[in-house]
Structure 1
Amino acid sequence: MELTAEIAALRAGVGDPAQLVGEFRRAVLLVPRSDGAADGEGALMSAVSGGIRWFYAFTDERAMARFAAARGEADREWPYLAILGARLVDAVVPEVGGPAGVAVNVADPDGSMLFPPVAGIVPDACAVDVETESAGVA
């Protein structure tokens, strides 16, 4: 099942969270660049809410276009990076230096999903629900 179908199933109360995370990790996501850079050097678009940096990610260009329209920015070009969900959480999230997660299809009220910085989604060293060894040492 593709990611959007897994999101719909979970939102309907019949999905499996582990399957959803697996599909998220396998999905190619489109992550817009915050500065419009198309050369691979620009930062990825994100926002901070509740002390967590949320990377915006989309399952296709139509979902990203709905986001652009919702922001009143549909008239500009939206360069993006196509990246596996696994690479986004395993390689990009650890570079943030604080709690970070992924917000998928945020402009779709019935099709959005947050993947928060918790164990099983991000690396344990970045998860807010995992106590690190140094935190327990006095």
Structure 2
Amino acid sequence: MGFDEEWRRLRTEADERAATGPGPGPVAEVPERNRVAEFPGRLAGFRSRVVLVPFDERGGLWTSRFGGLDWICAFSDEETLARFARVRGEAERVWEYHRVRGEHLLDGVIPALDFPCGVALDAAGPDGVVFPPVRGIVPDTAALDGGVAA
């Protein structure tokens, strides 16, 4: 199963859980999250933290194609990577990975690629976020909306 299918399956499961409700018992009111307002903080946090980036079967960084772009899959910690492995049905395999600072992925790795690429942090998790290859996230020369990649 590819990343696209896994993502759709996870979103469908989340939508079904939301439609059927949380089950019996009182429901605590949770304020609506404003993910747009949260994004600058999430980006700053990602840039300053060390994340895990698994190797693919060829020894390169693990990437997936989604929405017409390639995405480097990065994970906050081993538990989040393990959840991704379980979703893929590959929990028993050994997952080798790099530890890399988020800013190095955005400012060093992505501009060095010869194709547009973003970063998907914690794919298959409830708090996953994507950092697309656009100005303000990656250098202008690697941005789809402002550099030679366009």
Q: TM-score scaled by structure 1?
A: 0.77
Q: In the alignment, what sits opposite 1:96?
A: 113
Q: Which of the numbers 47, 55, 75 marks the counterpart of 1:25?
A: 47
Q: In the alignment, what sits opposite 1:117?
A: 133
Identity of aligned residues (%): 41
1:95 offset after TM fit, Å?
Answer: 2.2
1:49-89: per-residue Cα shift (whole Å, max 9, x none)?
A: 23311000000000000000001100010000000000011
Give unpaired runs (5+ residues) of structure 1: 1-10, 37-41
Partners of 1:46 and 1:54 within 8 A in 2? yes
Bigger radius of gyration among the two: 2
Q: In the alignment, what sits opposite 1:85?
A: 102
Q: In the alignment, what sits opposite 1:12?
A: 33
Judged with a 3 Å threshold, the aligned counterparts in structure 2 of structure 1 residues 114 and 122 are, in CA distance, closer, same or farther, namely same
Q: Which of the numbers 62, 73, 81 marks the counterpart of 2:90?
A: 73
Give the whole-Å Cα distance in 2 for the aligned partners of 1:71 and 1:131.
Answer: 35
What SS does the corresponding residue of 2:46 show, helix, strand or coil?
A: helix
- The Cα RMSD (Å) is 1.9
Give the whole-Å Cα distance in 1 for the aligned partners of 2:95 and 2:51.
Answer: 14
Moved runs in structure 1, 4+ residues, more than 4 A?
Answer: none
What SS does the corresponding residue of 1:12 show, helix, strand or coil?
A: coil
What SS does the corresponding residue of 2:124 show, helix, strand or coil?
A: coil
Q: TM-score scaled by structure 2?
A: 0.72
Partners of 1:51 and 1:99 within 8 A in 2? no
Give unpaired runs (5+ residues) of structure 2: 1-31
